[in-house]
């Protein structure tokens, strides 16, 4: 398969909230972006799945003035520690708790200002409105924690559709159903574009770009039970690592305890445990014997996910529930009219022949968002590999969230446009293009097997089983070593034996899967090493041998790199610039928020 050569200023890989924002920003700054999207732009990845949007902190004053004040405050805090203004201290502490104190604190202040002053006003200017009451006040849960567009559960879908229209209206070139599978130029120390399998049209492309933005999102599809869709196979993390970028926080993986146990394809629509619109009540969780083991509203948090996992583990240990079923989410305490009016899920349950207000729903655990990803300067989204930027959930500087992804896209798009202008054309990489052409030819030319050779999707399933068995919430050295052994065996045995079953050029999803397999192996392996290396429990990272959170020694990032096919791990302290955790060392199960 010979690659067609394509040139652009800024290559944006990914078409979620982050990718769309990056392309729009680059275009607004005079660059010519090309978007390459594995699924459909605005309609794939996590973006359409988002239920709601975190409400902005009230920030009086114009944005430029706030930014200036923040810059002065940040610089002064670098010399003498200054208190965080009382109005923001609680919100910031909560944000840092959700991010386990492993992220840059300035990033959150900058993002919060941008969200209040730019994200929400632009959202409504573009024609999508957060739900409001007759007085024009956003119709949020009673604690005001978030806003919804239309109804709870529809927010991401509508946001994605609006961004899709904006990108198309801006005349940005978009290749949908085209998967980037290798960054070019990595060996030269700078990225000069990417190889793209345009599987919808059956073409191979070598895209030469002056700057590249990776915006490929979370890694949700890595485990058997997951909140993700198939394009979330961790390609971005794997490509960046092979190009020499460092990754961090890969061990901090979020899980949902209350996803629907069945049908499997409905897992993304999890039984929402967070605050609900129109009511002060929330869901409860119960076991097979209908004993309530967690009343979610007893915990003062908008994100109860890790507390749910801790409570569920007790039930699993006592044999009263399983990780893949036997626990139930129950909304029977919530006023039925609040569910029907505000919850889009209501209709889904109805279609399953169930009543959200009366039935309880069997739940199971899923692999959800990854806090970890590619390291970048959170002020610019530069990765440290020249010409390579990241944006959104592919990064390690935050957990996720539509406004965060959009903010990153705005930074990365601006940086990439600047870089394209200043740096001019990238170095050629003919040898790499030829090597990738050869790789595809090899995958497509394997002899038709005797029926025993594993198909790419079968190997992917085996990887997902390894993750489900040994890399979910309850992690131990023995389990992680077993995972590493299983992944190595798949790499040595299944990978060479794997056969692409179709020679078709167009929509050859077997070929897309075959390219994903190697990426999934790489990323799962790095995540297992990172998990092995963190010898404490922190948020959703629970190590059975270390049931404590050690803020004295472990406010450190686990940083991984791939060097010569090996995974190298190091630890890097995180600077606690404004706030620090309250306790030095805590019992992980005794403290719900540890």
State the residues that interact with ligand FAD by CB under 6 A.
13-19, 36-39, 44-47, 49-53, 156, 179-180, 215-218, 220, 227-228, 231, 235-236, 268, 369, 392-393, 400-402, 405
Neighbouring C-alpha atoms within 13 Å toward the C-beta of 424: 2
Rounded CA gap, 121 and 130, in Å? Answer: 11
Shorter beta-carbon distance to ligand FAD: residue 215 or 459:
215
- Looking at beta carbons only, is 467 or 594 nearer to ligand FAD? 467
Alpha carbon distance 273, 256 (integer Å)? 10
Query: Per DSSP, which regions of 351-398 are E strands?
Result: 360-370, 373-374, 388-390
Terminal Cα distance for the chain, rounded:
52
Query: At residue 325, what are phi and psi to the nearest 5 degrees?
Result: 155, -175
Spell out the residues 6+ positions from residue 135 whose beta carbon is closer than 8 angstroms to its own.
none
- Closest distance of CB 26 from ligand FAD, Å: 15
CB closer to ligand FAD, 168 vs 489: 168
Which residue's CB is nearer to ligand FAD, number 237 or number 312? Answer: 237
15/244 with CB nearer ligand FAD: 15
Is the CB of 13 or the CB of 130 nearer to ligand FAD?
Answer: 13
CB of 237 to ligand FAD, least distance (A): 10
The DSSP bridge partners found for residue 130 are 149
Exposed e or buried b per residue across 558-583, where buried means at least 16 C-beta atoms within 10 angstroms of its C-beta: bbbbbeeeebeeeeeebeebbbebee
Which residues touch 440 (CB under 8 Å, ≥6 apart)?
Answer: 1, 197, 204, 511
CB of 274 to ligand FAD, least distance (A): 8
**Cα maximum dimension of the chain:** 71
Nearest to 19 by CA among 330, 412, 292: 412
Give dist(CA 196, CA 248) in Å, integer.
26
Taking each helix axis from N to C terminus, what angle separates 17-28 and 155-169, rounded to the nearest 10 degrees?
30
CA 363 → CA 115, 258, 302, 366, 370, distances in Å?
Answer: 33, 5, 19, 10, 21
CB nearer to ligand FAD: pick between 98 and 548: 98
Q: How far is the CB of 450 from ligand FAD (least distance, A)?
A: 31
Tokens 């065996």, located at residue = 489
Task: Copy the structure tokens of residue 299.
Answer: 């915990």
Tell me the closest approach of the beta carbon of residue 82 to ligand FAD, in angstroms: 30
* DSSP code string of 526-537: HHHHHHHH--S-
585-592: long-range contacts, CB 8 A cutoff, minimum separation 24: 585/548, 585/549, 585/550, 585/551, 585/552, 586/548, 586/549, 586/551, 587/547, 587/548, 588/310, 588/537, 588/542, 588/547, 588/548, 588/549, 589/310, 589/547, 591/549, 592/299, 592/307, 592/310
Q: Quick check: helix, strand or coil at residue 382?
A: strand
Report the nearest approach of ligand FAD to the CB of residue 370 (Å). Answer: 10
Residue 418: name the closest of 148, 210, 225 by CA.
Answer: 210
- CA-closest candidate to residue 369, choices 238, 232, 237: 232
| Least gap, CB of 289 to ligand FAD (angstroms) | 29
- What is the closest distance, in whole angstroms, from the C-beta atom of residue 283 to ligand FAD in the complex? 15
What minimum distance in Å lies between the beta carbon of 373 and ligand FAD? 9
CB of 42 or CB of 426, closer to ligand FAD = 42
* Shortest CB 202 distance to ligand FAD, Å: 16
**Whole-number minimum distance, CB 392 to ligand FAD, in Å?**
2
Residue with smaller CB distance to ligand FAD, 13 or 321: 13
User: Residue 238 in contact with residue 244, Cβ under 8 Å?
Assistant: no
Please, what is the minimum distance in Å from the beta carbon of residue 253 to ligand FAD?
A: 12
52 versus 594: smaller Cβ distance to ligand FAD? 52
Residue 75 CB, nearest approach to ligand FAD (Å): 30
Distance CA 283, CA 145 (A): 16
Q: Is residue 391 within 8 Å of 22, Cβ to Cβ?
A: yes
Q: How far is CA 47 from CA 142, 161, 561, in A?
A: 25, 10, 28
Smallest separation, CB 216 to ligand FAD (Å): 4
In angstroms, the CA 198 to CA 146 distance is 38
- Where does 371-461 show beta strands of DSSP type E? 373-374, 388-390
In whole angstroms, the minimum distance from the beta carbon of 256 to ligand FAD comes to: 8
Identify the three-state secondary structure at position 550: strand
Cβ closer to ligand FAD: 14 or 378?
14
């Amino acid at each position: 398969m010979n690659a067609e050569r394509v040139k652009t200023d800024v290559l944006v890989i990914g078409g979620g909230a982050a990718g769309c924002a990056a392309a729009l920003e680059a275009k607004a700054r005079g660059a010519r972006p090309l978007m390459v999207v594995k699924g459909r732009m605005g309609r794939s990845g996590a973006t359409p799945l988002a239920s709601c949007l975190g409400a902005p902190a009230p920030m009086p004053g114009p944005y430029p003035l706030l930014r200036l004040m923040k810059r002065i405050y940040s610089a002064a805090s670098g010399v003498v520690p200054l208190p965080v203004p009382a109005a923001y201290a609680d919100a910031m502490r909560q944000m840092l708790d959700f991010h386990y104190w492993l992220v840059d604190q300035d990033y959150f202040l900058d993002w919060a200002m941008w969200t209040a002053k730019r994200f929400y006003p632009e959202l409504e200017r573009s024609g999508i409105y957060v739900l409001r009451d007759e007085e024009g006040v956003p119709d949020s849960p009673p604690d005001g924690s978030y806003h919804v567009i239309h109804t709870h559960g529809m927010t991401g879908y509508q946001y994605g559709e609006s961004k899709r229209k904006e990108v198309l209206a801006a005349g940005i070139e978009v290749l949908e159903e085209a998967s980037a599978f290798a960054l070019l130029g990595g060996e030269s120390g700078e990225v000069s574009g990417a190889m793209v399998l345009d599987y919808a049209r059956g073409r191979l492309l070598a895209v030469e770009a002056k700057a590249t933005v990776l915006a490929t999102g979370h890694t949700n599809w890595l485990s058997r039970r997951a909140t993700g869709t198939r394009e979330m196979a961790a390609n971005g993390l794997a490509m960046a690592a092979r190009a020499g970028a460092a990754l961090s926080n890969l061990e901090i993986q979020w899980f949902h305890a209350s996803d629907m146990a069945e049908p499997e394809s409905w897992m993304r629509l999890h039984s929402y445990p967070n605050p609900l619109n129109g009511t002060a009540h929330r869901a409860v969780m119960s076991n097979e014997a209908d004993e309530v083991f967690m009343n979610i509203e007893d915990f003062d948090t908008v994100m109860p996910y890790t507390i749910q996992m801790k409570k569920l583990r007790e039930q699993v240990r006592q044999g009263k529930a399983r990780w893949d079923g036997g626990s139930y989410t129950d909304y029977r305490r919530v006023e039925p009219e609040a569910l029907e009016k505000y919850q889009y899920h209501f209709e889904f349950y109805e279609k399953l022949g169930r009543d959200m207000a009366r039935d309880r729903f069997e739940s199971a655990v899923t692999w959800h968002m990854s806090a970890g990803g590619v390291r970048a300067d959170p002020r610019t989204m530069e990765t440290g590999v020249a010409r390579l930027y990241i944006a959104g959930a592919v990064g390690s500087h935050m957990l996720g969230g539509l406004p965060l992804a959009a903010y990153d896209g705005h930074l990365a798009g601006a940086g990439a446009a600047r870089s394209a202008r200043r740096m001019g054309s990238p170095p050629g990489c003919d040898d790499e293009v030829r090597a990738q052409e050869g790789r595809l030819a090899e995958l497509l030319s394997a002899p038709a097997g005797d029926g025993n050779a594993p198909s790419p999707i079968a190997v992917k399933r085996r990887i997902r089983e390894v993750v489900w068995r040994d890399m979910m919430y309850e992690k131990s050295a023995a389990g992680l070593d077993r995972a590493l052994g299983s992944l190595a065996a798949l790499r040595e045995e299944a990978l060479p034996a794997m056969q692409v079953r179709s020679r078709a050029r167009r929509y050859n999803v077997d070929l897309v899967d075959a390219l994903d397999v190697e990426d999934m192996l790489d990323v799962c392996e790095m995540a297992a090493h990172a998990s092995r290396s963190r010898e404490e429990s922190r948020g959703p990272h629970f190590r059975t041998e270390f049931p404590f959170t050690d803020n004295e020694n472990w406010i450190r990032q686990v940083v991984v790199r791939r060097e010569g096919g090996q995974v190298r791990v190091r630890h890097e302290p995180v600077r606690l610039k404004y706030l620090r955790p309250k306790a030095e060392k805590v019992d992980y199960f005794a403290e719900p928020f540890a």
